Structure 1
Amino acid sequence: MEAEQGESSHNNNALYVGENLAKIVLSWSLEDILHEHKVNAIPHSFSSLGDYLSSFVYPLVEETKSEICSKIESLSTAPFAKIITLCSSERFIQPRYEIVFGKWKGSLKKHTKVSHQAKLGDLFVFKQTKPDRNSSVRRLGRSWCFGYATKILKHDFNERLIYTPHFEVSSSIKLEAALDVSKPFYAIFIMNLTTNNRIWNALHTCPSDHVIRELLSINPMVQEDCKNCPAMKETLEEKLSLTSYLNKSQCEAVVQCICNSVCDHKPSLELIWASPGTGKTRTLGVLLCSLLRVNCRTLVCAPTNVAILEVASRVMQLGKESAKTLDENGNPLCSFGDILVYGNTNRTAYEAGDLYLDYRVKRLTKCFSPHFGWKHWFTTMTEFLENCVSEYASEADKCVDNRTSFLQYVKDRFIPMSDSLRNCILTIGTHLSKAYISEKDIKDLILLEASLQSLETFLFEANPVGKELKAAFLLEEGVKSSPQDDINMPEFFHIKSECIQHLRNLLHSLDRLSLITVNEKFCFKMASLIFCTASSSYELCKFGIDPIKLLVIDEASQVKECESLIPLQVCGVKHVVLLGDECQLPAFVSSKVSAKAGFGKSLFERLSMLGYHRHLLDTQYRMHPNISSFPIAKFYQNRIIDSQIVKSDTYNKCYLPGPLYGNYSFMNISCGREVLSDRHNWKNMVEVAVVLKILQLLYKGVCMFGHLAFMSFLFSLKNP
C-alpha cells in the first residue's frame, strides 16, 4: 500500500533526526511495516553535503521496512529458538533483557549444514508458539513483539560443552505485556540489521571536510593531474614492470591510479570501466601489487566476502609469481604480512585464507608465545645440536635399566623440535610484514628449513648406528670419513654446523621481534593492503588503525551509493578508485518505491551518468566474436575489441552436431509458467524440464563423441 504523495510522503529528514535505526524499527507496528510511503527520487547532483546525505535516509527506511515485511511473510521457514533464560534490565528507558537462546532450529545456513547462530544486529519476533506452515505476517495477531540484539554480554558452556552467548536484547514493548513469560516462548529470526545500521550511521555522522564533499562538486570537464607532483607516468610503467602482465588500456588505468596515490595535495577519483572478460581482476591484482611496492596504504572493498577473497587470491598469486626466494621444494616463500583480509569468511575454502585476520592472530600468537614461541624453539634446537651427546649420556646415567639407543634418542627429540621450528619458520616468513623481516631474513629462514630437511634425511634414510652418529655429532671440521663409515660424517657435520649458524644468525637478527605484542591491532598496523566488504569497513575504526590513503571498491556498480559512504569515511581516505560496469546487474533493492527513487544506483553509475571520465578496458578475452558482437554494439558503443585469443581457431571448434551446440542458442519456452516456491522464490518447472533435457542430450553427445574419438585413436595405432 502506498500513501498519497502529499502529507504521507517523506519530504524532509526532521522525523528521524537524532534517532537510531534499530530504535525506529522497534517502534514500528505491523501496519507501519506493511504501509509504504513514496519517497523523493535521489538526484544525480547535489547542492550541499546535507542534501546529499538526507536524500538516502527515507529510501533506506522504506528498504528496511520492505526487507522485514518480506521475511515476516515467510515466518514458517525462519530459524527459531526457545528462550532459555530471561532477565529484565531496569537501567534503560526502552525495555531490555539479558537472554540466552536455546538451540536454533529450522532453516540452515546457505551452502552449509550449520544451523543459524544469533549475532549482534539480529532482529527477532518473540512469539508464544513455534512457527508452523501457517505462520505469516497476517497471522501474527497481537501476542508478539520485536527484539533486537544490541550486545553480547558473556559466553558460557552449556551442558553439552557448547559456547552459548548471553545477549542484551531490546524489545519494542515489554515482553511481559505481550507474552506470558512464565510459559515457553520463542524467538524467530527475521533478519540482521547490521549493514542497514552502518549505512544509517554513515548518513548521520559524515564529516564535513571529508573526501565525500569533493565528490559532490565534481566537474567532469576539469580533471587535471596535480601540478605540485612531478610527472612520472612515462617511467612508472617500466619501473613497475606492468607491460608483462597488462595490455595498453589496462596499463594506462593502473599508472594513473598509482600516480594519484603518491599525491598529498589534492583528492582524486578514478573510474575503471570493466566489461565481462576484459581482465578486470588481473588489472586490479596488478594495481594492488604495485601499490604495495610504492608503500601506499590501501583499503580494498567489494559487495561480498566471495568477491573480496577472489581479488585477495589474485594478489597472493601475483606475489608468489614475483617471489625471488624459494624453499627446498621450489615453492615461493613470500611475506604476506602487508596484506590482511577482514570479515566473515570460510578461511579454508580459499587460497587467500592465510591472509584472514583471525587466523593470522592465532598463528602469530602461538609463534610469539614467551614460553613455547619461535625464540624457545630456535634456542632449544641450537642447544640440542650442540649438546645432544652429553645430554644423552646424562640421561642414560640416570636411567640405567631403560636405556634408549642414541639414534632413537636423537630421532625422538629432533622430529618434534623440527616440526615446531618449521611452523615458526613458515609463520614468520609468511605472516610478518616486510617492515619486520628483511629479504635476508627470509633467505636465512629458507636455508634453515633446507638444513633441517637434510639432517632429517641423514637420520632416517642413512639410518646410522649410534656409534657412528655420535662420532658425526662430535666430529671436528676437516676430519675425513673412514671407508667403513655408513654415513658421510664430514658432510653431516657440515650441515649440522650450517644449521646451528643459521639458528644463531636468526636469533640475533630477529631478536627485536621479542618486543612484539600480537593482537588484532598489531596485524592491522602491519598491513598496508586491507581487504573487507564495504559494510565491514565500518568496524575498522575500533582497531585504531593508521590512516588509509587510497580506497579501492571492486564491483563498484553493485554497491549502493549510500553503502559506499561507509568505506569513504574510513580515516585518512584521500584517493578513490572505483572498478565496475553499470551495464551489468545493479545492487538488489527490495522496496519498489526505493528502487523507483534510485536507491539501488551506485556511485559508479551516478558519476558515469554525469559524464565523469572512465578508463575503459578495451580488449575482451572471454567470448567468441559471434557472442560478443551484440553486447559490444548494444552496451559499449563498439569501443571494445576482441583479442586474438578469442579469434583463434580453437574458439571455432564445435564437437557436437546441430544448431543447439553452436556459439549460442535462443530458446523460446512459451508454455512455461512461473509459480512461487517456499513463499518467496519463483520457479518455472517447464524451463527446468527443458534444461534437464538439454543436459541429457549434451551428455549423450559428449559420450558418443568420446567413444568415436577413442575408436579413432585405436585405429591410428593399428595404422600408423
Structure 2
Amino acid sequence: MGKKGGARKRRKGQDDDDELVNLIFSWSLQDVANQDLFRDKVNTIPDRFFGLKNYLDSFRAPLLEEIRAEMSSALDPQPNGSSPVQIRSLVSLVPKGAKGVKKITPFYRVTVSGRRGACSPCIGDIVALSAATPLRPGSPYCLAHVKDVPNKCSFVVRASKVIEDVTCYAFVVSLLSFIPYARIWRCLNYEAAVERNADLVKGTSLTGGTGVLLTAGTLSPFELNESQADAILSCISAVQCGGASSKFSLIWGPPGTGKTKTISVLLLAVMTMSMTTKSQSKFRVLTCAPTNTAICQVASRLLALRKQHPNAGAGGCHGDLLLFGNRKRMAIDNDLNEIFLDTRVKRLSKCFSPATGWKPGLLSLEVFLTDPITLKHQYQLAREKNTSTNLPESSFVRSRFHEISQKLSACFRTIMSHVPRDIVLGKSCENIASLTKMLGDFGKLLGGKNAGNEVVRDAFMRTATGEQRHGSETARALRRSMAAILGVTRALARDLKLPRTRHGPTIKKFCLRSASLVFCTVSGSAKLNEQKMDLLLIDEAAQLKECESLIPLQVSGLKHAVLIGDECQLPATVKSKVSDSALLGRSLFERLGLLGHRKHLLNMQYRMHPSISVFPNISFYDRQILDGPNVTQTTHERSYLPGAMFGPYSFINVDGREDRGRSKRNMAEVAAILKILRSLKQACASAGQVVSVGVICPYAAQVEAIQGRIGDVRAMRPLILRVNSVDGFQGSEEDIIILSTVRSNATGSIGFLSNRRRANHCLWILGNATTLSGSGSIWGELVQDAVERRCFFDWDDGGAGASPAISHGARLIGPERGGATSTFDTQLVGCEADRICGALGSLRLA
C-alpha cells in the first residue's frame, strides 16, 4: 500500500510540474517582458485567511509574477542576463515505447557548441531556442523545458510546440531555474498538502513524546549564556509536552549571538533524549537552511560538538546523521563526508553486496574454519600459482586468514560507523565488537612462533571425516578460539538484519529511512516526500519567502517546527516589484512574529567590536543586545592599517559618480577599494598575517568592475579576498568587510538600498554621504550616526606626494555635520608589523 501511495504522489507531483510548465509555455516573450502582466491578478498576501486553501492560493499569482520577472531578467542584455549558447544541431526525438507521441509532446535533442565557456543548461531549466541573439520579442523563438542532460554539450528538451524547421534555431538561452519554483508550486496544491501532512496543515493540537524533560543543568557542559539555554529549554518543552499552544517556536538570533551553536546544542539534546526514550519508533528531526553553505555550517558545528562531548549522542557512530545535496555546491570536507549521503551509499554498497559484503564475509570465515577440504584445495591452487617458491602451509593459512579478517573487519567498521545503532541492535553490536577482538587475538595466536606447519595441519588440515590429533597446546588453543568465533559469526548471520544489495537507490532509501537527524537545503527537502519526520528546524528562516518554507513544512508527520532567524537581516530576494509589493518576500518567521508568537531573543553578541554593534543595536534591536565579554576586551582589537579611518568602524565619504544603467557601478569607489586592498596586502605581507577580506556591493555591475580590476584574487595573497553581492555573502565569515554602496546622484535615489535590512553587515562603508543622507532611509541615519560618533571621513585622492602604498588624506567631521574638522594623516610610512595599528577587531560576519 505504501508503495502505491508513493507512486501516486510522484505522479501528482509530476502533474503539478506539467501544469506549471504549460502555464509558462502559454506566455509569449512580450508577456515575459510585460511588467503589468499579473498586476491586476496579484493581491497583497493577507495576515489572516479563511482556511488552508485560501492561504495556499494567495501565493500562486505572486509566484507566477516572480517567475515572469526572473525570466525577463534573463532576457536582459545587461551583465546580469543569461549568455546565449550556439546550437550545433537540433534533432527530433520520440520517447521510448511511445507511438504517435511526437505531435503531442515534441522532444528534441539539442547539441551546443563545445567552445570554451559554452555548456548545456541544467536539468529542469526553462530555455528559449532562438534564431538570433539577443533574443527580442518578435524574433523567431521556442520555449522549452530541459528534461535530461547526458553530457556538457547536449541536452534533451520538451518544446512548447512542434518545430517544423529544426535548422531555424541557432542559439539557446537559459531563462529560468525551474526546479525551485516547481517545488514551491507543488506545495500550493491543497489536496496534496492535506494528504502529505494533515496534522500540520489542519492546525490540530500537538501530541508530544514521553522522554525525560531537559533541565538547565543538563546544558551546563555546553557553556551557553542564559538566553541560549532558555531558548533550547523552551523548544524542548514545546516538543515534548502534549497540548502545546503553538506548532512553532521562534528563536531570534541577531548576528554573532550564537545561532548555530544554539541549534547544534538543541539538536544534540534532542538526539540524546531520543536515544533514552522508550518508544517503538525513533524521534526524527529535519534541519534545513536556505543555502548549501548555511546547512553545511550547521552540520559541521554539530559534528564538532559531538567530538567535544563524546558522551552525548552515539559515540563514533554517524549513522543517525545524514546530509544530502549537491556535492560540488556544498564543498564537502572530510568531516562532512562521513555523513554525506552519496559517500555513505558508496561505502555501504560494498558492505551490503551479496557477493563481497558482510554476509559473504561471514560465510568465507566459516568455510575457512570448518572446511579443511576447501582449505586444502585453495592451498594447492596457491602452490600451483607460485611454482617458484615452496609455500609452507602455515604461511598460506596465515595469509588466507589475514585476507578474510581484514575484509570482514573493515566491513563491520563501516557498518558500525554508518548504520544507526538501533538498526544494528544491541546484541549484534556486542557480537560485532566481540568478533573484531576475537579475530585480532586469533591472528596473533596464528602468527606466533609456535604456530608452525605441524600445528596448522593439526588445527586446520583435518580429514573429511573430522579426524584430528590432540596435538600441541597451541593447536588446542587455536581450535578453542575457532569454536568461539564460529558461535559469534553464526549469531550475527542469524540476527543482523541489513539489506543484501548493491543497488544504489535501495541503499539510499535505507539510509534516509534510518537516520534520525537529516540535513538538507529547504528546496532539497522536497525529495523527502516518502519520509516521516517529527521535528523541523529551519535556520536563517527570515531569508525565506513564506511559500518556500512550505516545502519542508509539508514533510509528513511533523509535530513541531523551530524557526531560527533574524528579520532585521537580509530578506528573501524578490525580483518583481509587483510581487514585492504583495509581500511575497515576507517570511513565515516575520509573519508569526507579527501575529504575536513569542520570539526567544539571543541577546548577547560575541562577534562585533562594540563600535560596530552600537548602531544596529540602537536602530534594529531596541538596545536589547549586549556585547559579550570577549569583544569588550582590548585583545579583541586587531590592527591592519594605521589611521582613524581604518578603525573598527567608519563611513568613508567618496565623491564619485554612479554610472547609469539597470545595474549600477561607481568607479570612484572601485578605485578607493583597490587602493585600500593594495595597502592591506602590503601591510599584512610585512606582518606575516593572513587576513580574510570581503568586499560587498549591492549591484552586480559593481562586483564585476572590482573583480575586473583585481584580476586573479590569488595575486592578492596574503589577503583571502572575496568580492560578491550583499546576498552572496550571507553565511560567510570574514575578518574585514568593505561595503561599497555605489549610489551617488543629485536626487537621493538609492534603489533597493532603501531596504533597511541591508544596512546590517558593514565595517568600512564607502558611499556618497549626500545621496545617502537625502534618501530618507536608514542609510541617512547611518551617516548621521557616523558623524555623531566621529567615525565619518572624507576620502581625498588628490595627494600628489602620498605614499605609493595608498594615496589619500582623511578628514574627520564631527561631532555635528558642518562642525569643526581635524585632519588625520593616514599615509602608510613603512609597513613594519609594529606600525600596523587601528583597524578591525576579530569581527567574523556571518
Q: Which TM-score bucket, shorter chain as reference?
A: 0.7 to 0.9
TM-score, length of structure 1 as denominator length: 0.76
CA gap of 1:188–1:704, structure 2 versus 1, over 3 A, is closer
TM superposition shift of 1:57: 1.5
CA distance in structure 2 between the partners assigned to 1:469 and 1:338 by the alignment: 46
Give CA-to-partner distance per residue, 1:311-342, whole Å, 9 cap, x none: 1222222233333599xxxxx96222222223
After superposing the two structures, state which structure 1 stretch, 200-209 or 582-591, moved more: 200-209
Distance 1:35 1:458, change over 3 A: farther
Gapped regions of structure 2 (runs ≥ 5): 1-15, 275-282, 460-471, 501-505, 689-830, 836-846
Tell me the equivalent position of 1:57: 60
Partner of 2:305: 318
Query: Displacement, 1:124?
Result: 1.4
What pairs up with 1:144-293 in 2 under 5 angstroms? 144-149=141-146, 151=147, 167=156, 169-176=157-164, 180-181=165-166, 185-205=170-190, 206-207=193-194, 209-214=198-203, 235-238=214-217, 240-241=218-219, 243-263=221-241, 265=243, 268-293=247-272
Deviations 1:504-540 (A, max 9, x none): 6366246433552543322222122222222222232
Provide the secondary structure at the position in 1 that maps to 2:631: coil
**2:618 aligned partner, one-letter code:** A
| Alignment check: 8 A CA contact 1:472 1:492 kept | yes
Q: Quick one: which of 35, 47, 50 aligns to 2:50?
A: 47
- Does residue 516 in structure 1 map to residue 499 in structure 2? yes
Contact 1:79 1:106 in 2 (8 A): no
Matched, 1:68 2:71: yes
Distance 1:61 1:55 in 2: 11
Correspondence for 1:367 among 334, 339, 351:
351
Matched residue count: 633
User: 1:11 — aligned with what?
Assistant: none
Residues 381 and 417 in structure 1, CA contact (< 8 A), matched pair in contact too: yes
- Is the CA contact 1:302–1:554 (under 8 Å) kept in the aligned structure 2? yes
- 1:237 touches 1:243 (CA, 8 Å); kept in 2? no
Structure 1 gaps of 5+ residues are 1-16, 109-113, 130-134, 157-161, 216-224, 327-331, 477-488, 712-720
Distance (Å, rounded) in 2 between the aligned partners of 1:147 and 1:274: 43
Matches within 5 A, 1:576-615: 576-615=561-600
- For the residues of structure 1 that align with 2:681 and 2:17, how far apart are their CA atoms? 62
Q: Which region of structure 1 is more displaced relative to structure 2, 53-62 or 581-590?
A: 53-62
Rounded Cα–Cα distance in structure 2 between residues aligned with 1:694 and 1:497: 76
Structure-1 separation of matches of 2:561 and 2:404: 48
1:552 is matched with which residue? Answer: 537
Instruction: Report the AA paired with residue 505 of structure 1.
Output: V
* Distance 1:508-1:237 versus aligned 2 partners, 3 A rule: farther
RMSD over equivalenced CA pairs, Å? 4.3
Instruction: Work out whether residues 146 and 171 of structure 1, in 8 Å CA contact, stay in contact via their aligned partners in 2.
Output: yes
CA change 1:684–1:527 in 2 (3 A) is same
Q: What percentage of residue pairs aligned between the two structures are identical? A: 33
Q: TM (normalized to structure 2)?
A: 0.65
State yes or no: 1:102 paired with 2:111. Answer: yes
Tell me how far apart the structure 1 counterparts of residues 234 and 103 of structure 2 sit (CA, whole Å): 53
| Conservation of the 8 A alpha-carbon contact between 1:582 and 1:604 | yes
CA distance 1:622–1:349, shift in 2 (3 Å): same
Distance change in 2, residues 1:293/1:115 (3 Å) = farther
Q: Report the more deviating stretch, 529-538 or 633-642.
A: 529-538
CA shift, 1:174, in A, is 2.1
1:34 positional shift: 1.1
> Over residues 369-389 of structure 1, what are the superposed CA-to-partner deviations in whole Å (9 max), with x where a residue is unaligned?
111002223443566589799
User: How big is the shift at 1:606?
Assistant: 1.6
For the Cα contact (< 8 Å) 1:148–1:170, is it kept in 2?
yes
- Separation (CA, whole Å) in 1 of partners of 2:293 and 2:361: 37
Number of the residue aligned with 2:387? 401
Offset of residue 101 of structure 1 = 3.3
How far 1:171 sits from its partner (Å)? Answer: 2.5
How far the C-alpha of 1:470 sits from its partner, in A, is 5.2
Deviates more, 1:47-56 or 1:32-41: 47-56
Residue 816 of structure 2: aligned partner: none
CA contact (8 A) 1:455 1:495 kept: yes
**Structure 2 match to 1:436:** 423
CA deviation after TM superposition for structure 1 residue 271, in Å:
0.3
- Identify the residue that residue 85 of structure 1 maps to in structure 2: 91
Q: Deviations over 1:332-378 (max 9, x none)?
A: 96222222223323376233233233332232222111110022234
Q: Whole-Å Cα distance in 2 between the matches of residues 103 and 197 of structure 1?
A: 26
Higher RCO (CA 8 Å, separation ≥ 6 residues) = 1
Aligned residue in 1 for 2:526: 538
Measured after TM superposition, the shift of residue 172 of structure 1 is 2.4
- Residue 357 of structure 1 corresponds to 341
Asked whether the 8 Å contact 1:94–1:170 carries over to 2, the reply is: no
1:690 match: 672
Q: Distance in 2 between matches of 1:243 and 1:273?
A: 23
Find the aligned partners of 2:610 and 2:251 in 1 and give their Cα distance. Answer: 23
Relative to structure 1, is the Cα distance of residues 245 and 418 closer, same or farther in structure 2, using a 3 angstrom cutoff?
A: farther
CA displacement 1:658-709 (0-9 Å, x = unmatched):
2244222321222153466xxx865444333322221222233334445966
Pair 508,688 (structure 1): closer, same or farther in 2 beyond 3 Å = farther
Where 1:101 maps in the other structure, the secondary structure is strand
Any idea what SS the aligned residue of 2:556 has? Answer: coil
- Give, in whole Å, the separation in 2 of the partners of 1:190 and 1:376: 52
Measure, in 2, the Cα distance between the counterparts of 1:374 and 1:522. Answer: 17
